[in-house]
Amino acid sequence: MTMLGKKIATREAYGDALVELGKENPNVVVLDADLSASTRTSKFAAQFPERFFQMGIAEQDMMGTAAGLAAAGKIPFASTFAMFATGRAYDQVRNSIGYPGLNVKIGATHAGVTVGEDGATHQALEDIALMRAIPGMTVIVPADYVEAVQAVKAAAAHVGPVYLRFTRGGVPVVFGDDYQFQLGKAALLRDGGDATIIACGVMVGAALEAAEALAGEGLSIRVLNMGTIKPLDGEAVIKAARETGAVVTAEEHSIIGGLGSAVAEVLGENCPVPMKRVGVPDVFGQSGGAGELLEHYGLTAANVAQRVREVVGRKA
């Protein structure tokens, strides 16, 4: 039964997918840093209490424990808010998980400005950049509930460290039951020849909305969902640049070090074309409603559409 159009937080998908994995694989274990109600790992804890570890407000200890469990053959999902997973515990993620290449999955919820009223201290806008820079770390940013469930399962099947980024608030479901997430592969959501929008997370819906609006102006816009930020699907990026001649990226993250930077790196070395990055500029977040903050930072379909008009105008 399709959920298209419904608004569901991707953290809900995280909790649901963990329960499914728990039933399928006895080696899956879950750790949380005193936030299981918020990260939705409480769903796993209720069904598999012997495989759930409540670590308390001790994120560094949680990452070290997850590393030990992985070394012993388990598949641990270490869960907390994105700000704490990548900020407070960065040293442990880098040296205890990344350096030895251990099979730890980091489930990070409450990412980006859509955390809302909790403000700048809790709005991780640099987490993708931090995780991208760790050698061997896979980085996944699902766009909706459907993709998030599949991404969690793909992370469990993948051998090596994975960072998964989830939302606090509801995001529209953009994928039908036939959608298939592929680790490391972009998904073509809409074809077009005038420009390409490459989006991830909550901005995928905005990208589709922008493309539809631009179609009314006679512009044919390709839309790629880049669910995996690392390893990036460079082949899809280069193909889009060559065939459409202009690229706009859209993400709920700093324009420094995230999807926009990853795409720019590929284009700069292989196929330079007019490009714009839609994301949060070089500033911290602030307290406000999720919708208000998306509007304030230009994380909207209207702004994405305007950036597309600009890059199309530069093609000549």
Residues marked active site are found at 59
Nearest Cα to 65, choosing from 20, 13, 30, 116? 30
Angle at which helix 234-244 crosses helix 259-270, to 10 degrees, equals 70
> If DSSP codes are grouped into helix, strand and coil, which group holds residue 119?
coil
Distant-in-sequence contacts of 64-71, Cβ < 8 A, 24+ apart: 64/92, 64/96, 65/31, 66/31, 66/97, 66/104, 67/92, 67/96, 67/97, 67/100, 67/102, 67/104, 69/29, 69/31, 69/104, 70/97, 70/102, 70/103, 70/104, 71/100, 71/102
Q: Beta-carbon neighbour count of residue 263 at 10 Å?
A: 27
Q: Verify cis geometry, omega within 30 degrees of 0, for the bond prior to 135.
A: no
